[in-house]
Amino acid sequence: MAKKRIDEATGVETVGHEWDGIEELDNPMPRWWLWSFYASIVFALGYVIAYPAWPLVSQGTEGVLGWSSRGALARELAAEEARKKPILTSLAATPIERLPDNPALMRAAIEGGRAAFKVNCVQCHGAGAAGSRGYPNLNDDDWLWGGDLKAIEQTLIHGIRQPGDSKTRISQMPAFGKDGMLSEAQIAQVTQHVLSLSGKAGPNDAGAQVFAENCAVCHGNDGRGLREFGAPNLADAIGLYGTSAEAISRQIHTPRHGVMPSWGGRLDPATIKMLAAYVHSLGGGENFKDAAPGDGAAAAQSHDQP
Amino acid sequence: MARLRHRAMTNPDRGPAPALYAKREPVFNRRIDGWFRRLKWSIMIVTLAIYYGTPWLRWDRGPYAPDQAVLVDLAHRRFYMFGIEIWPHEFYFVAGLLIMAGIGLFLVTSLVGRAWCGYACPQTVWTDLFQHIDRLIDGDRNARFRLYKGPWGPAKIARRLLKWTVYLAISFATGGAWVLYFADAPSLMRDFFTGQAAPVAYVTVAILTATTFVLGGFMREQVCIYMCPWPRIQTAMLDEKSLIVTYKDWRGEPRGSVKKAERDPGAFGDCIDCNQCVAVCPTGIDIREGPQIGCITCALCIDACDRVMKDVGRPRGLIDYATLEGCKQEAAGEAPIPVWRNLLQTRTLVYGSLWAAIGLAMLFALGTRTRTDISAEADRNPPFMLMSDGSIRNGYTVKLRNMQNRPRAMIVTMEGLPGAKMWTDDMPRERATRQVERVVPADATEVVRIYVVAPAGTPTQDFAFAVHSTSDAETDTSPIRFEAPETSE
């Protein structure tokens, strides 16, 4: 098959292969190409000696420079940890009540919390912290257990209805319908009354009666709720399980109760403070009740809770 | 490995094919003095002075901004040019300048041909400078040629080393001056020589020193002939009405020495074939061969030929700036077209008015731009928020730009959205009003989280954030949307 010959047109020898009449000239390699090739061989020799190269049975050669991609990652992570350390240290040393006094630290905490939220909280509360039915919206100003930094931190550490945590926040609404405590008619009446609290229906005297006897002990006479019991405010526009008559009636009949894990054992105190600061910054955060005198905010908050 | 590469090779049957590679013929251009040489001197002095000197000019901008007259502050994303400060979002001014530079090149080309190549191009200026170094160290044309041909000995090595050292010094100054445009020149200079400057400064200086050394010291006219795209573009732009440096062959040919002409009057043209036009050419071409890509129209051959013509008592301008059309008329015995007629072509007028229009538009934009800017971005997740009292809240990230070099108090208000109030993430909602005030530091952007709350039942609608500075009349607005639930539950 190999029929080397001199090509007439160029005077160059062919390599002797032929495909459908097409032949290949045996031109020498361009010099720049050859030199690049030799240079890359020299480079490769140096590389093999300096860097991890040959795979062996259980491990590869390590190279005299001792470089490894895992080592490089570890170094980068260590540098990042070192960068964050002063912030985390001062955050751990600052009681959350004093956090607003240090605006720079507060900013850092909010940004750190934004990142931690994406890892730990978005699964239930959503990426925008807007929640969904049964999962509280953290952007609004409606808080079941309190919306100041301390209350949010407490909820984060011990969770809600977390089995095995003695300090967890617990509330339990009786299943008025399922357990036969109220008749269907009474549930319908009290549903109308609850709707009337937020102006969605006219007054219902019978419902008001049922409410006063069964519900006011937790939700208050005016239906504004009681945070000590985690009893929701029924007189506002927001309902965790919906605000329609059907949703309210279902909740009275067979209440649902959500669970939030206690994060105290999973996250370090600094991260929990950062999460609290972030959630507080989402637009619904409340000031501490004992805010500095003369701060109009304290008085204006009086409607929240007696 | 398929190597189907055709290559010019020696074919015993057809004789040697022309080689694709030609070795560079070194250029030893002779010293010349004349009108155009002096013009080149002045332009070289001015351009080099601008290049090396500009970073050292100071410009007082007060305590909040650098005092360097021309500064490209990449780290802080600011571009300072005397009284003008450009922010990244105003980069269209720089784009406009580049467009003006482009059209300016077209304009200059249609007016006076390759004047950029001949006088102002950095490659030309630095090559010219390096050729003067050659002349200073090695002597003029003949001495340099002898040295080039002569064997390597201690004297030649010493001269070469001295020359390359001077090349390197100029190259280093050139590369060094470049980085001074990007940081405070005096402090960068100090840091550079004490080893404390940023690595990027050393790398940039090293690269630009190397390119100046190689391009100006060794490659020279090859850059113009082989590397630069501009001569090719210009070739496409030149026509018979373009001003070029041309040899008037109808007057010069046939060539003959003065003695021959004396022996045989009338048989020879004005060209005495003294080769002075070739000797002075920095790109080593013979202009008598006609217009060619190697001619950068530096006009040194005009100086050389004029001097020779004066010496032999013939009229100047055997080699001269002329248009091909003018040459044709002149050759036919008519009066040459005056130069100003070339300047007033449709093409030059169009380029000129385009250039001026862009310039005026930019000046107008520069004069009327405000140094106050607001831009708002609405939260997308969640797009709106129902509050416990039934009102609807939207969140916005608002950027306030104070582009003046002093801190200013700015007031953000809402245009539209009746009944709405706003507050920021660092104040309680109870203090919400129709405006938010912030003191924005000098030459800085302040990011403010603004919550806008509108009464229950407010529909989705457009409104705008407006900002005004309390200390002057500057204002700006940013139109944006207020989102609300489609139907209330």
Tell me which of A22-36, B44-58, B338-352 is least confident. B338-352
- Under the banding of pLDDT at 50, 70 and 90, the label for residue A2 is low
Residues of A in contact with B438 (CB under 8 A): none
Candidates B1, B4, B9, B394: best to mutate against A (most CBs of A within 10 A) is B9
pLDDT of residue A298: 36
A120 and A265 together in one domain: yes
- Tokens 């520069």 label which residue? B366
Tokens found for residue B437: 């005030």
Residues A148 and A271 occupy one common structural domain: yes
> What sign does the dihedral A102-A103-A106-A112 (CA atoms) show?
negative
Query: Residue B1: closest CA among chain A residues belongs to which residue?
Result: A24
Q: Is the pLDDT of residue A46 over 90?
A: yes
A269 and A154 in one domain? Answer: yes
Classify residue A73: in a domain, yes or no.
no
The ranges assigned to domains in chain B are: 35-234, 242-331, 372-482
Q: Give yes or no: residues A125 and A6 share one domain.
A: no
Give a yes or no: residue A52 inside a domain.
yes
Helix (H) or strand (E) run with residue B486 in it: none
Please state whether the peptide bond connecting residue B254 to the residue before it is cis, i.e. omega within 30 degrees of 0: yes
pLDDT digits (tens, 9 = 90+) for A112-171: 999 999 999 999 999 999 999 999 999 998 999 999 999 999 999 999 999 999 999 999
Best residue in B4, B429, B448, B487 to probe A by mutation, most A CBs within 10 Å?
B429
Return the percentage of chain B with pLDDT > 70, whole number. 95
Q: Does B382 contact A128 at a Cβ distance shorter than 8 Å?
A: yes
pLDDT, position B18:
56
What is the pLDDT at residue B10?
Answer: 43
Asked whether residue A172 is assigned to any structural domain, the reply reads no
Residue B430 has its nearest CB partner, among A8, A140, A300, at: A300
What pTM does this model have? 0.74
Total count of domains within chain A? 3
Q: Is residue A295 part of a domain?
A: no
Interatomic CA distance for residues A33 and A24, integer angstroms: 19
The larger pLDDT score, comparing residue B232 to residue A79, is at A79
Q: Which residues of B touch A31 (CB under 8 A)?
A: none
CATH 3.40.50.150 is right for the domain spanning B372-482: no
Pick from B5, B13, B21, B4: which is nearest to A11 by CA?
A: B13
Count CB-CB contacts under 10 A for residue B44.
18
Domain membership flag for residue A174: no
Task: Report the pLDDT value the prediction gives residue A306, as an integer from 0 to 100.
Answer: 35
Show the domain range for A35.
1-68
Domain annotation covers residue A297: no
Same domain, A15 and A120: no
Examine the domain organization and report whether A249 and A267 are in the same domain.
no
A 80-99: CB under 8 A from B: none
Say yes or no: A125 and A246 in one domain. no
Q: At A206, which CATH number?
A: 1.10.760.10
In a domain, A199, yes or no: yes
Q: Identify whether residues A87 and A151 lie together within a single domain.
A: yes
Does B16 have pLDDT greater than 60? no
- Residue B13 has what pLDDT? 52
Residue A160 sits in the same domain as residue A282: yes
CB contact under 8 A, B390 and A141: no
Task: Give pLDDT, residue B156.
Answer: 92
Q: A93 and A115 share a domain?
A: yes
Per-residue pLDDT tens digits for B356-392 = 999 999 999 998 888 999 999 999 988 999 998 889 9
Cβ distance A236 to B390 less than 8 Å, yes or no, reads yes
Q: Which B residues, 397 through 436, put their C-beta within 8 Å of a C-beta on chain A?
A: 425-426, 428-431
How far is Cα B335 from Cα B120, in angstroms, rounded to an integer? Answer: 32
Q: Is the residue at A97 inside a domain?
A: yes
Same domain, A107 and A208: no
pLDDT digits 0-9 by tens, B397-414: 999 999 998 999 999 999
Share of chain A above pLDDT 70, in %: 93
Q: Same domain, yes or no, for A109 and A36?
A: no
- Is the bond preceding A269 in cis, omega lying within 30 degrees of 0? no
